[in-house]
Structure 1
Amino acid sequence: MKTRALGKSGFEVSEIGLGCWQLGNDFGPVEDEEATKILQTATGEGIHFFDTADVYGGGLSEERIGQWRKTLSKPPIIATKVGRNGELYPNGYSKVKVKQSLQASAKRLGVEAIDLAQLHCVPRDVLFSGDILAWMEDLKQEGVIKHFGASVEMLDEAMFCCEHAELASLQILFNVFRQDAVDSLLPLAEKNDVGIIVRLPLASGLLTGKMGLNHTFNAHDHRSYNKDGAAFHVGETFNGIPFEKGVVLVEALKEKLPEDQNILDVSLRWILDQPQVSSIIAGASRSSQVMRNAAASNLPPLSKELHSLLADFYRAEVRNEIRGGI
């Protein structure tokens, strides 16, 4: 497993990380034994960067990570998020409440100070006021957190955050079906030494190439109840693309790829070919998925021709299908 710098934090993180939303049972039930197996498999594969949030399973994901962390001789780097629990979202934000939420997360994780605390897709007006970023800077100085970043939904939000002098990282939606950050955000992130953490690298599973038009999802899975944005931002599910259209687009792209290229490998490697990316936080409900994702770290870079093909396909076929903005 290769490592990369996480912006100005001083952390070296595995370029494939583990997204731990599933460990909150928000995609369907994951038993304690399987959750531990997923975490153990990740460390066995060289993954030492884990991303969670206080709202994943109402704190269950953090609790599971905290219990597992106690068994390790060398603790990994753990990032969590703040800003979407009922005490704060959508209009209860204050520095005191943000601090209390972060302290509760630290307790569940079993740490004195959180390695990386990320604003969790807070409302645009709250973000753009600038106050909440100043609070995070204060909480870093107070020792509640070691570093802070932001997880955002839109590129203009990312560009705004990227200008904050103390911001260590940005977590964004980014994949071969959402490429706009390449020309706009990534150069600015490099200039300002902000690490890029990629979520939805496989567009909620579309880019595994294994989903057909008749694929069904557990009722507790956001891919069932949020496919049209009923519960939260539509871009967080299937990249904002209608599921049926997404399946058709994946099949069309598979037809264009060289015979020796797998769409899942191509999708992960394309992201890693962007030097500004620090880590891909790929989620997993089974340990076998962790191993499959981790293998991308050792794949060779894609050819210039393949990069051109993917860029052309995105602009011509995919971009106009994305709902909710970019």
Structure 2
Amino acid sequence: MIDFRYHLVSLIAVFLAVALGIVIGTTQLNGPLTDNLQGQVTALQDDKRSLEDQTQGLQTQLDDVGAFDEAVGPTLVENTLTGESVLLVVASPDLDAEVVEGVTALLGSAGATVTGTIRLTDSYADPASDGTVESYLTGAGVPATVTRPATEDVGELTASVLAQVLMVPGDGSPDAGIPPSTTDTSTVLAGLTELDVLSQDTSSVSPADLAVVLTAGTVAGGEDAARTADLVQLATALDAEGSGAVVAGDLASAGEGGLVEAVRSDRSAAAAVSTVDNVDTAAGRISTVLALAAERRGTSGEYGVGEDTQPVPPPAS
């Protein structure tokens, strides 16, 4: 009869055999496995270094192109906007200051005068502030020269009032070429600044012939879709009241939720307002200035690097 000690010895022998097999197998395979893994690691490290070199080379090429565009930009836009005045509207809080400075400098090279820069806050087109904004815009604080549209849409009302005090009436208007008074402009801007709807980046703002609305990324603040629609209304109102407007942003702004995309998706807005989707590059800033010149001639278009766009506006014929 087999007793318990026999079973115990048998089990121990089995476990010893298994352990010995694992040790022997590991010893035999350890060398090839280690060599194989080391070879893969080395190959991946080589690939990484190669990709880093390629990336650095491409970045160098991009920097060279950007430097070239920066160098030739003033020459390319020279005299394209001689005698024109331009208002800048910053519609995104995270817009790089370099973009505003670059566009301003290039407009100067084109012969234009920048009459000022205003910045829209997150309260612009925020439903939470609609009540106070509407009360102000329909009240006695707004100059009597301003004609308020018959609408219950606060975004449309705001866009119309701002356009009337910020833009010099364009061709086709009974008041073409006659700017609104700077007092009216200052009054409305002061009122909306008090309501934290906008602020001034420049010490003074006066009416202009043309407008550039600068944006970046997706629209944020308030209810995003409503804010985007209100910004499109503002751009089209500035365009309709003056001699033209351009909405210029980065490539992200040409994607879903971006202001450039919203203008391009609105058939009537796209027919009136030009868009640029690479204003964060020197080439895009050149396109923005040339697009303004085209707007002055009555031509609107979609420019940049996005789908179905032209690289730059066509030259004057």
Higher normalized strand content (fraction of residues): 1
> Considering only CA atoms, is the larger Rg found in Structure 1 or Structure 2?
2
Question: What's the TM-score, normalizing by structure 1?
Answer: 0.30
Question: What's the TM-score, normalizing by structure 2?
Answer: 0.31
Q: Which has the higher contact order (CA 8 A, sep 6+)?
A: 1
